[in-house]
Amino acid sequence: MTEEPFEPVKEKEASFDAKTPVTGQTKMQAAWSANPDDDSGAQIASAPQGQIFEQVYQPWNGELNPRWMRNWTILRHHILGIFKKGHRPWNLVTKLFVFFVIIASLTDVAMVVLFGVLGDSYFYDLWGVNRNNLYGHVLGFFPRNILYYPILAALLVGGIISEDRTHGTSAIYFSRPINRFDYASMKFLSVAMLLLLVINGTLILYYLSEILVKGRGWAWIIDTFPMFLGAFLSGIILSFTYTSIGLSLSSISRGKFFPAIGLIAILMGTKAVASIIDRLFENSILYVISPFDSVCHISQELLGIESTYNHPWAWSLASVVLVNGLALYLLANRVSSMEVTRE
Amino acid sequence: MDRELIIESSALTKMYGPHLALDSLDIRIEKGATGLLGPNGAGKSTFLKTILGLIQVTSGEGSVLGYDIRTQGEQIRQRIGYMPEYDALNPNMEAIYQVKYCGELIGMNPNVALQRAHQALEYVGLGEQRYREVSTFSTGMKQATKLACALIHDPELIIADEPSNGLDAKSREFMLNTLNITVQSGERSVLMASHLMEDVERLCDNIVLLHKGRLAAQGKIEDLKAIDKEVEIHVWGAASKMEESLKDSGLKVRREGRVMRIGHTGDETYSQILKSAAEVGSQVRKMHDYEASLEDLFLVIMERLGHDVKSSDELLEGSI
């Protein structure tokens, strides 16, 4: 059915006097009503009005996934945010630095490929896979553990928990079926996995490049695989330690700067103090306060290379366990105090 | 027949050390819109955390949507949508991804969550702005985004903490309308904590009033208003004598100039007023039943609790 585009004026009987307010409508009515003979012919335009915004509540009856899927969401949100849009918005500096560190960490891979292709055995042996080079890939101090990994860890942990305090976004987790253990552990895993991706991911590429370039066989792999595993485990311990210290600092802060600079200060400060004491008194014992050196000491034992420390490695192991324990205790404590209704 | 209860508690008590935050609350909240009112420190936040299953109660029991608040917090939080008072949004995320993430955290599949995020943002009036970063949003748009986050999984109960806080008149109107549509046509329930009694009165049929951790009042606003029924008269001449006469006849009188409100005790109140007017020679120029506002109701309740309160602002600021 089509609607009539015009309808008759309804206000035929309208009267106008001095008190009638002068509006556009009254003017029009007065004009149409001026001649009584024209009443029946008066028409005004009428058309159905369009609905620009119709607010309709739409129900949803879908199935909800279980706990592990919700945890996977948190993990994915943080990790994929580095690489694509629509997830956690990491800042550009962090994204670029991740890219830079991955490239920079592949220098030994590049050297292996270069000298493998050139066939220069001296330089190849210098860069090829062995105990010291595997150790150096993960725990070499300069440039990796002064310029790359601590700074990368600092950039990654900076706002990971503190931003939830700042923006109040802890409420979006805790008002949903996410418990505090899941929240903290998924945040922890996100940072640790990004660090592992850079440190151990490039270690795997390094090891594979040797196999491919030199055409290494099973005998070589069986010989060197325990060393590779030792280095891999060292990478896990290093990533775990950096992450736990960094996250605990992030959990006690409201900004990004303090956790980041705090992590670097702890790692570099303790090493600097221990190094000075070692130089002055030729005693390495104070390195137990340095998380980085403690991990190095453990790694040297794991890989079977000559130790650069003169105190027992078990002390370094105890130090790493203690530091991580304290950091995780602080993290758990602070996360449990995060509010839902008001932060 | 009893209406469906969505929140029920019995002797619900919560103590933080020696501090009693909730004192033996017996609350029954029906399906529909309910306002949660109370001054700062009344226990509103503690009550919300309790019904979300986030904190363990000291004693008593309670259920939300049939789930035990002591043991089934996870199931409760899957079925409710919580809209916090403060921003609770990542300012650097686009609204669509923020809402999608909230859906995924509930347990929705990513694709489904994205589809629902579009619908939810359209529903709250942000269809055109959904790809904008939250940091560029006005307060009203942020509130709408939070509501979309709460609604994405179509919860049975929406807990809205100060949903109209800081909004201009237009945004406030839209927010209340949206919540109203959610209740009326969506057939969902809303528990709204608010300081703005006008908003509560407009949206909610029921209220729960907490004061110092105790339940001060609960029930239908209409029923509660009946406890404060008054007759308002406008008198001309001998107003003071008229006031005295009415008080002498046992009626409760509140007077401001020529306007008096007399406590309604029954149909005989009207004849008593006219009789007093005739006695003192006063003209009653206007007489009608006075419809109490929620604020009036508040003042009466607080008066009955033994507090001398001048306004609801004073009450809600927690100065008493």
* Range 179-208 of A in CB contact (< 8 A) with B: 179
Of A13-22, A42-51, B60-69, B233-242, which has the strongest mean pLDDT?
B60-69
Q: Tell me: do B274 and B216 sit in the same domain.
A: no
CA-CA distance, B215 to B119, in Å (whole number)?
Answer: 38
- Between A47-51, A148-152, B50-54, B75-79, the lowest mean confidence (pLDDT) is in A47-51
Mean pLDDT of the residues in chain A = 88
Q: Does B161 touch chain A (CB under 8 A)?
A: yes
> What number of CA atoms fall less than 13 Å from residue B180's CA on the CB side?
14
Q: Tell whether A136 is within 8 A of chain B (Cβ).
A: no
Whether residue A56 lies within 8 A of chain B, CB to CB, comes out as yes
Whether B167 and B205 share a structural domain? yes
Q: What is the mean pLDDT of residues A140-157?
A: 96
Nearest-by-Cβ selection for A343 from B86, B91, B161: B86
With bands split at pLDDT 50, 70 and 90, how would you rate the model's confidence at B223?
confident
What is the rounded average pLDDT of the residues A134-150? 95
List the single range of A11-15, A109-113, A258-262, A285-289 with lowest mean pLDDT.
A11-15
Would you place residue B320 in the very low, low, confident or very high pLDDT band (cuts 50, 70, 90)?
A: very low
Q: Does A87 touch chain B (CB under 8 A)?
A: yes
What are the phi and psi torsion angles at A146 (to 5°)?
A: -120, -35
Three-class DSSP category at B248: helix
| Angle between helix A149-157 and helix A218-251 axes, rounded to 10 deg | 40
Same domain? For B248 and B172 the reply is: no
Q: How many Å is the Cα radius of gyration of chain A? A: 34
Q: Which pTM was predicted?
A: 0.84
Q: Which of residues 179-208 of B touch A (CB under 8 A)?
A: 181-182, 185-186, 188
| Half-sphere exposure for B156 (CA within 13 Å, toward CB) | 15
Q: Cβ–Cβ of A62/B108 closer than 8 Å?
A: yes
Q: Tell me which of B14, B69, B87, B90 to substitute to probe the interface with A (most A C-beta atoms closer than 10 Å).
A: B90
Q: Are both B73 and B91 inside the same structural domain?
A: yes
d(CA B171, CA B168): 5
Q: Do B56 and B192 belong together in one domain?
A: yes
- Answer for the pair A213, A118: CB distance below 8 angstroms, yes or no: no
* Same domain (yes/no): B215, B141: yes
| Residue of chain B with shortest Cα separation from A74 | B105
What would the pLDDT profile of B4-53 be if each residue is shown by its tens digit? 899 999 999 999 989 999 999 999 999 999 999 888 888 888 999 899 98
Decide if pLDDT at B318 tops 70.
Answer: no
Q: DSSP letter at B305?
A: T
Confidence of residue A51 (pLDDT cuts 50, 70, 90): low
Instruction: Tell me the two tokens of residue A286.
Output: 């104070």
- Separation in Å, CA of B227 to nearest CA in chain A: 33
- Residue written as tokens 């919580």? B82
Flag the least confident range among A222-236, B201-215, B287-301: B287-301
- CA angle A31–A35–A41, rounded 5-degree value: 85
pLDDT tens readout for residues B90-109: 999 999 999 999 999 999 99
* A200-245 tens-digit pLDDT: 999 999 999 999 998 999 999 999 999 999 999 999 999 999 999 9
Out of A107-116, A138-147, B297-306, which region has the weakest mean confidence (pLDDT)?
Answer: B297-306
Q: B93, A70: Cβ pair inside 8 Å?
A: no
Distance CA A86, CA A89 (A): 8
Is B21 among the domain residues?
Answer: yes
**A177 upstream amide cis, omega within 30 of 0:** no
Q: For residues B228-254, give the mean pLDDT.
A: 88
Structure tokens at B307: 């507090």
Of the candidates A66, A88, A169, which has its C-beta nearest B89's C-beta? A169
CA of B93: which chain A residue's CA is closest?
A: A89
* pLDDT mean over A14-33: 57
State which H helix or E strand residue A59 sits in: none
Q: Cα(B127)–Cα(B119) distance, rounded to whole angstroms?
A: 8
Calpha distance A341→A323 (Å, rounded): 33
Find the range with the poorest average confidence among A284-293, B187-196, B215-224, B298-307: B298-307
Domain boundary among B178, B197, B220: B220
3-class secondary-structure state, position A284:
coil
Inspect the interface and report whether the beta carbons of B82 and A171 lie closer than 8 Å.
yes
> Which residue of A53, A66, A169 is in closest CB contact with B90?
A169
pLDDT of residue B296: 74
Q: Residue B313 above 60 pLDDT?
A: no
Interface A–B counts its CB contacts (< 8 A) at 120
B61 has pLDDT over 90: yes
Is the Cβ of B101 closer than 8 Å to some Cβ of chain A?
Answer: yes
pLDDT band for position B211 (cuts 50, 70, 90): confident
Tell me the pLDDT of chain B averaged across its residues.
89
- Residue B286 pLDDT greater than 60, yes or no: yes
Stretch B256-263: mean pLDDT: 87
Query: Of B195, B220, B245, which marks where a domain is finished?
Result: B220
Whether residue A70 and residue B105 make contact (CB cut-off 8 A), yes or no, is yes
Between the two ends of chain A, the Cα-to-Cα distance in Å is: 59
Q: Would you state the pLDDT for residue B319?
A: 45
Q: Between chains, do A56 and B185 touch, taking CB under 8 Å as contact?
A: yes
B99 with B128, same domain? yes
Residues of B in contact with A90 (CB under 8 A): none
| Cβ–Cβ contact B174 with A under 8 A | no
Rounded CA gap, B142 and B87, in Å? 7
Contact (CB, 8 A) for A180 and A336: yes
Determine the Cα–Cα distance for residues B191 and B7; give it in Å rounded to an integer: 10
Question: ipTM score of the complex?
Answer: 0.83
**Cβ-defined contact of B105 to A176 (cutoff 8 Å):** yes
Are residues B249 and B211 located together in one domain of the fold? no
| Same-domain pairing of B260 and B215 | no
Residue B270 maps to which CATH number?
A: 3.30.70.100
For residue B34, give the CATH number of its domain: 3.40.50.300
- At A173-199, the pLDDT tens digits run 999 999 999 999 999 999 999 999 999
Q: How far is B267 from chain A (nearest CA, A)?
A: 43
State the pLDDT at residue A41.
47
First vs last Cα of chain B: how many Å apart?
39
Q: Is B108 on the interface with A (CB under 8 A)?
A: yes
Tokens of A274: 């221990």
Q: Which residues of A touch B110 (CB under 8 A)?
A: 73
Is residue B91 within 8 A of residue B133, CB to CB? The reply is: yes
| Whether residue B118 sits in one domain with residue B251 | no
What's the domain count of chain B? 2
- Are B283 and B152 contained in the same domain? no
B105 has a chain A CB within 8 A of its CB: yes
* Chain B contact set for A95 (CB, 8 A): none
Cα angle value A232/A235/A241 (rounded, 5°) = 145
Helix extents (H) in chain A: 24-33, 67-80, 92-105, 107-118, 121-127, 131-139, 149-157, 162-167, 170-174, 180-214, 218-251, 257-281, 291-303, 313-336
| Nearest to B42, CA basis, from B14, B66, B18, B79 | B14
Q: How is chain A split into domains, by residue range?
A: 1-61, 68-336
Asked if the model's pLDDT at residue A40 lies above 60, the reply is no
Strands B67-68 and B253-256: unpaired
Query: Domain limits at B252?
Result: 230-290
Range with the poorest average pLDDT among A16-20, A174-178, B187-191, B208-212: A16-20
Q: Map residue B36 onto helix, strand or coil.
A: strand
Average pLDDT rounded to a whole number, residues B173-192: 94
pLDDT digit string, tens, across residues A69-127: 999 999 999 999 999 999 999 999 999 999 999 999 999 999 999 988 888 888 888 89
- B220: which strand partners? B206
Whether pLDDT at B182 is above 80: yes
Answer yes or no: is B225 within a domain: no
Please give the share of chain B, as a percent, with pLDDT higher than 70.
94
**Contact assessment for residue A79 and residue A190, using Cβ atoms and an 8 Å cutoff:** yes
A-chain residues near B87 (CB < 8 A): 167-168
Q: What is the mean pLDDT of residues B182-195?
A: 93
Residue of A nearest to B44 (CA): A341
What is the average per-residue pLDDT within A9-28?
Answer: 55
For residue B296, being part of any structural domain is answered with: no
Of residues A27 and B3, which shows the higher confidence score?
B3
pLDDT of residue B1: 45
Average pLDDT estimate for B243-249: 90
Name which of A60, A72, A88 to mutate to probe chain B: the one with the most chain B Cβ atoms within 10 A of its Cβ.
Answer: A60
| Domain assignment of residue B311, yes or no | no
**Does one domain contain both B269 and B236?**
yes
Q: Is residue B56 part of a domain?
A: yes
Residue B77 in this model has a pLDDT that exceeds 90:
yes
Q: Residue A233: which H helix or E strand, with range?
A: helix A218-251
Contact A97, A198 (CB under 8 A): no
State whether residue B89 sits within 8 Å of chain A by CB: yes
**Ranked by mean pLDDT, which of A201-205, A253-257, B228-232, B296-300 comes out on top?**
A201-205
A58 with B82: Cβ contact below 8 A: no
Q: Please indicate if any CB of chain A lies within 8 Å of the CB of B90.
A: yes
